[in-house]
């Protein structure tokens, strides 16, 4: 019976279309719209600057801008009256006006002033440059501030130059290094792949299990029950068909995501465990639909509503976060647990680390299976 159901589902192409083709196409569209923003490309920037040619501090500031790693900066030194027109016309994305006496003000700790003009077309690159200008200014004045404080505290004059030099050459107090995504989190593209796989899984398993309603409407289910086999075996065969379809379709979608979007989900063994658990939860939920729906139309509508609600809550289109009781409810959602488990696996976690999501999915499957046995079968009553 299971083999016959599988052949029927593959023959009518519905599983291939709604279980694989549609979700892959939707992944491609969503990835183009909300694609991974982890790698940001900064474009070239032109800076129009006016600075005293004989001012060492001013020249240090301008030279620093051209040495920013990952950002192509061209500094054009122009007369002061040309800086603003160049910025406003778009010839330069940033304008800098360093007045006469800039270096002397820095040395004396008087608070040197730099006029910054963001030009037409300013963007993230300009924000980076502004932050660098402020940082360099603070670094230049740090030595002067320390020297004045030391002199006020009674430090001998011959030691003041050493203090100023050490402060100016001191490394940054806070260092930044490139890191990886935190545990239980996926990048934007990986989250889309996992969420879409979980969403369409709820549709895919329905093709196998909801066949019970179609056969009940056509009268073939009654003939099956009249055969000398346990009634539970018939239901188990239908469930197995839906389960196999769900596992295969989900693995295909995750593999497509890895190949198309260059995402990683970690150990294949852990991914397989998570897939087996989430498909079990989805299949058990479908039995609840079978019990409460009288017709195939009602079952299809109920299945679609449940799939969309759980898929949205599980991050099929965008990440969903919450606090308090709502956060607990989201954690019990099998699609959320599946995505969370993939995040743990992608972050290098092992079998013990994914125990939480696995228990959540298996617990959901158990509750749904028990509910399907306790609920009255409206189809039989009809």
Average pLDDT over residues 72-90: 88
Evaluate if residue 1 carries a pLDDT over 60: yes
pLDDT at residue 276 in the model: 94
| Burial annotation 111-147 (CB, 10 A radius, 16+ → b, else e) | ebebeebbbeebeebbebbbebbeebbebbbebbebb
Distances (CA, A) of 148 to 110, 153, 161: 11, 9, 11
Evaluate if residue 235 carries a pLDDT over 80: no
Are the CB atoms for 111 and 82 separated by under 8 Å? Answer: no
Are the CB atoms for 57 and 103 separated by under 8 Å? Answer: yes
Residue 25 neighbours by CB under 8 Å, 6+ apart: none
Which neighbouring-strand residues pair with 45? 73
Are the CB atoms for 148 and 112 separated by under 8 Å? Answer: no
pLDDT at residue 91 in the model: 85
Distances (CA, A) of 114 to 105, 128, 134, 208: 11, 16, 9, 70
**Between helices 157-169 and 124-152, what is the axis angle to 10°?**
160
pLDDT class of 208 with cuts at 50, 70, 90: low
The full set of domains in the chain, from first to last, is 2-37+187-381 (no CATH), 45-169 (3.40.190)
pLDDT class of 37 with cuts at 50, 70, 90: very low
Evaluate if residue 66 carries a pLDDT over 80: yes
pLDDT at residue 362 in the model: 93
| Burial annotation 282-293 (CB, 10 A radius, 16+ → b, else e) | bbbbbbbbbbbb
Q: What average pLDDT does the chain have?
A: 78
pLDDT at residue 204 in the model: 82
pLDDT class of 156 with cuts at 50, 70, 90: confident
Are the CB atoms for 258 and 175 separated by under 8 Å? Answer: no
pLDDT at residue 34 in the model: 61
pLDDT at residue 365 in the model: 92
pLDDT at residue 272 in the model: 94
Of the listed ranges 96-110, 238-252, 257-271, 338-352, the one predicted with least confidence: 96-110
For residue range 7-23, list pLDDT tens digits in order: 776 777 777 777 788 88
Measure the CA–CA gap between 78 and 133, rounded to whole angstroms: 18
For residue range 221-232, list pLDDT tens digits in order: 566 666 666 656
Evaluate if residue 173 carries a pLDDT over 60: no
| Closest to 44 (Cα-Cα) out of 91, 114, 80, 97 | 91
pLDDT class of 40 with cuts at 50, 70, 90: low
Which of residues 292 and 324 earns the better pLDDT score? 292
What is the separation of C-alpha 255 from the centre of its chain, rounded to a whole number of angstroms? 18
pLDDT at residue 228 in the model: 62
What is the separation of C-alpha 358 from the centre of its chain, rounded to a whole number of angstroms? 21
* 3 state DSSP class of 268: helix
Average pLDDT over residues 310-320: 77
Measure the CA–CA gap between 120 and 92, rounded to whole angstroms: 8
- Please report, rounded to a whole number, the percentage of residues in the chain having pLDDT higher than 70: 75
Average pLDDT over residues 147-157: 75
Evaluate if residue 381 carries a pLDDT over 50: no
Average pLDDT over residues 116-141: 78
Measure the CA–CA gap between 133 and 123, rounded to whole angstroms: 16
């Amino acid at each position: 019976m299971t083999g016959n159901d599988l052949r029927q589902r593959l023959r009518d192409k519905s599983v291939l279309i709604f279980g694989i083709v549609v979700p892959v196409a939707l992944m491609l569209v969503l990835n183009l719209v909300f694609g991974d923003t982890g790698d940001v490309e900064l474009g070239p920037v032109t800076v129009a600057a006016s600075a005293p040619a004989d001012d060492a501090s001013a020249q240090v500031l301008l030279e620093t801008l051209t040495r920013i790693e990952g950002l192509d900066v061209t500094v054009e030194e122009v007369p002061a009256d040309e800086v603003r027109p160049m910025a406003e016309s778009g010839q330069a994305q940033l304008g800098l006006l360093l007045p006469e006496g800039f270096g002397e003000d820095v040395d004396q700790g008087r608070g040197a002033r730099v006029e910054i003009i963001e030009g037409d077309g300013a963007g993230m690159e300009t924000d980076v440059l502004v932050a660098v200008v402020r940082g360099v200014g603070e670094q230049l004045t740090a030595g002067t501030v320390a020297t004045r404080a030391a002199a006020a505290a009674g430090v001998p004059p011959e030691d003041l130059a050493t203090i100023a030099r050490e402060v100016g050459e001191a490394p940054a107090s806070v260092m930044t290094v490139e890191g990886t995504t935190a545990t239980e989190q996926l990048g934007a593209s990986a989250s889309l792949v996992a969420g879409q796989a979980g969403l369409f899984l709820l549709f895919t398993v329905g093709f196998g299990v909801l066949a019970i309603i179609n056969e009940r409407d056509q009268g073939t289910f009654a003939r099956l029950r009249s055969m000398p086999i346990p009634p539970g075996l018939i239901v188990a065969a239908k469930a197995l068909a839906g389960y196999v379809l769900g596992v295969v379709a989900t693995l295909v979608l995750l593999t497509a995501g890895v190949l198309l979007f260059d995402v990683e989900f970690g150990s294949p063994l852990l991914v397989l465990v998570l897939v087996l658990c989430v498909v079990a939860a989805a299949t058990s939920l479908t039995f609840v639909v079978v019990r409460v729906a009288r017709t195939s139309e009602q079952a299809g509508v109920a299945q679609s509503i449940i799939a969309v609600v759980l898929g949205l809550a599980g991050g099929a289109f965008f990440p969903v976060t919450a606090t308090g009781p709502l956060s607990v409810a989201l954690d019990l959602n099998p699609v959320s647990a599946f995505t969370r488990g993939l995040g743990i696996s992608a972050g290098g976690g092992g079998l013990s680390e994914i125990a939480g999501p696995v228990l959540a999915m298996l617990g959901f499957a158990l509750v749904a299976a028990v509910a399907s046995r306790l609920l009255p079968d409206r189809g039989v009553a009809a």
